[in-house]
Amino acid sequence: MRVLVTGGAGYIGSHTVRALIEAKHEPVVIDNLVYGHKKVIQNIFKTPLICGNIGNTNLLKSVIFGTHNELISTNHEGKMIDAIIHFAAYAYVGESVKQPLKYYKNNVSESINLLDIICSNDVISRRSSSDPIPIIFSSSCATYGIPKETPITENTPQNPINPYGKSKLMVEEIIKDLAISCNLKSVILRYFNAAGASPDSVIGEDHCPETHLIPLAIKAAFESKPLKIFGDDYPTFDGTCLRDYIHVCDLANAHVLALKIFEKKQVHLKHDYKNNDLCKIYNLGNGSGISVKQIINIIEKVTQKEIKIIIEKRREGDPTSLIASASKIIQELGWEPKYPNIYDIVSHSISWYTKSSFQ
């Protein structure tokens, strides 16, 4: 399939672009490069990268119809996109609390622009199936807020407690409405904690600023800088929060599997909120809670370096535990994580860090 990957120059997006190429799909990336890395997409994966916002209607249309300048004289020239994987978003929870409008504008308004185009008559009339371009949407465990049950299933009530989580839930709701109004086919994937790097250390996690525990702890180990832990008085076995880490390559492969839903010709059209076959929703995690201190211990073991920690008070809105049940995607799509072991996840991150820092 010809797949438009929004935010494809980012962390999860770039791993997915690679998985798409390996599965013989033909990706095209649109990314505003506020956080993404151009070199990975253009130089390593030799994939067209259109630099711009998904809120730019003309730009987006030209990419979807294959008429954008960057697509001329490529395999994509004049050909329409078959499916969209929508990663493009800002994803800093703390920042979203301080600047909510930045999140509602970028994550919600710009997504509305994208959805508006893929559901427009202009697009639908040019598709042989006469329906909108199907979409896979990156949602988050942040939509569950402080969960009332563990593990979290897709039916666990969603009560996001910050603008980032709310922005993701809003887009989920809009997508569900569009299934009813115009038969939009979609897959909503709710990721838990994406982590790790490609096992060959070609790509990895490079957020700037970095807020995720594993890369921060690796940096602390190699640079002998102290690492802050926010709260060691949670009701867990060692007092620190539990999170469910999923290898970024397993996450990427889940997107390739999800695309298969769109390839199936016979999709039942059920205009029913509760039993909406056009919108499939799946959690993505490994189903095990690893504590902050456990992560630090593993990194110390693998690197043979000590990490100095500073205990700070709890951060507001940090749930004690966020653990997924991913049974649904395992049963329905046959998703099988290749790297569920936290040692593999951490080791791949460390290898990538050492390769990219010391070469």
* Chain contacts with ligand NAD (rule: CB under 6 A): 6-7, 9-13, 30-36, 53-55, 87-91, 106, 110, 138, 140, 191, 193-194, 207
From CA 302, how far away is CA 351, in angstroms rounded?
A: 10
Catalytic pick from 90, 164, 245, 282?
164
Q: Which CB atom, from 103 or from 262, has the smaller least distance to ligand NAD?
A: 103
Backbone angles phi, psi at 128, to 5 degrees: -65, -30
Q: Is 164 marked active-site?
A: yes
Backbone angles phi, psi at 161, to 5 degrees: -115, 10
- Closer to ligand NAD at the Cβ: 131 or 154? 154
Least distance in angstroms from the C-beta of 176 to ligand NAD: 18
Residue 200 CB, shortest distance to ligand NAD, in Å, is 19
- Nearer to ligand NAD among residue 89 and residue 323 (C-beta): 89
In the chain, the amino acid numbered 262 is: F
Strands, sheet with 186-191, edge to edge from the N-terminal-most edge strand: 49-51, 26-31, 2-6, 83-86, 135-140, 186-191, 279-284
Closer to ligand NAD by Cβ: residue 55 or 239: 55
> What's the closest the beta carbon of residue 91 comes to ligand NAD, in angstroms?
4
**Whole-number minimum distance, CB 208 to ligand NAD, in Å?**
9
Q: How far apart are CA 57 and CA 44, in angstroms?
A: 28
For the CB of residue 187, give the shortest distance to ligand NAD in the complex, in Å: 14
Residue closer to ligand NAD, measured from CB, 131 or 206: 206
In the complex, residue closest to ligand NAD by CB: 10
- Counting other chains too, the contacts that 225-229 makes at CB distance below 8 Å and 24 or more residues apart are 225/308, 226/308, 226/309, 226/310, 227/296, 227/307, 227/308, 227/309, 227/310, 228/309, 228/310, 228/311, 228/312, 229/292, 229/293, 229/296, 229/309, 229/310, 229/311, 229/312
Catalytic site positions: 164
